[in-house]
Structure 1
Amino acid sequence: MTTPTRPVRLTTPVRLVLDALLAAQAEDPPWGYRICAETDLGPSTVYPILERLEQAGWITGQWEADTPHARPARRLYTISDTGRQMYAEALARSSKRRGAQLRPAWLRSAGSPGED
């Protein structure tokens, strides 16, 4: 497992890619073009995301072993245990921040109104 070179920003495209990887069956890991089709994102968006996630240790990629002669080998991607954990923690933090932002400002302050 590689160590993260920088934190992963959870942009909408990154979340779509991670969700596609989480939805994939272990016995049928997706490849880049399939992820593009499932997320409606272009290859110029998906492939850099896959590279960053792999460098950060959130996913692993490996070339398929049995390649038909009619096409080149595909790089198959799976989300790592670290990736699952980091994504879950990031979603929890994001959800918590969004919840705080949705409350009125007076509820976000340190004290409750009327307390002296």
Structure 2
Amino acid sequence: MDESPPVRIRLTMPTRAVLDLLMSTAADDPPWGYRICEEAGLGPGTVYPILERLEEARWIEGTWETEVPADRPRRRTYQITDLGSCSYQAALAKTKRPAARLRWGLRPGEAR
């Protein structure tokens, strides 16, 4: 088992957009990089580094398609892991605490 220290993930708005998308996709229809770019409204120069960091932190798992389609390149699909799901939900819960909300200039009960 890997005993390296966990990688810290900064939950920027683009990172949250990628994680939200991965949390909402069905396990039998995992998104690939370009689809994530399209659905999150982010460019590949933003999305692919986020995917690399999340995969390094073991929050997501990427796998290559097993078959090579004749009409397009093989896709690498991504799914959120149990660690990623739990870690992201815990991080989101922390941002709902009053102290965290005040840090971002939000008053209790005020939506972002």
Q: What is the TM-score of this pair, normalised by structure 1?
A: 0.81
Q: Any unmatched runs of 5+ in structure 2?
A: none
1: CA distance, partners of 2:56 / 2:91:
18
2:12 alignment counterpart = 11
2:24 alignment counterpart = 23
| Correspondence 1:102 to 2:103 | no
Q: Secondary structure at the match of 1:102?
A: coil
Encode CA deviations 1:11-37: one digit per residue, 9 max, x unaligned.
Answer: 000000001101111101000000000
- Residue 66 of structure 1 deviates from its aligned partner by 2.1
Q: Secondary structure at the match of 1:87?
A: helix
Q: Any unmatched runs of 5+ in structure 1?
A: 104-116
Matched ranges for 1:33-44 at <5 A: 33-44=34-45
2: CA distance, partners of 1:4 / 1:85:
17
| Correspondence 1:72 to 2:77 | no
1: CA distance, partners of 2:14 / 2:27:
22
Identity of aligned residues (%): 53
Runs of 4+ more than 6 Å apart: none
- Residue 6 of structure 1 deviates from its aligned partner by 2.5
- Residue 72 of structure 1 deviates from its aligned partner by 1.1
1:112 alignment counterpart = none
- The structure-2 alpha-carbon separation of the partners of 1:23 and 1:4, relative to structure 1 and needing over 3 Å to count, comes to farther
1: CA distance, partners of 2:46 / 2:34:
11
Count of aligned positions: 103
Tell me, yes or no, if the aligned pair for 1:4 and 1:55 is still in contact at 8 Å: no
2: CA distance, partners of 1:15 / 1:75:
20
| Superposition RMSD in Å | 1.9
Tell me, yes or no, if the aligned pair for 1:59 and 1:83 is still in contact at 8 Å: yes
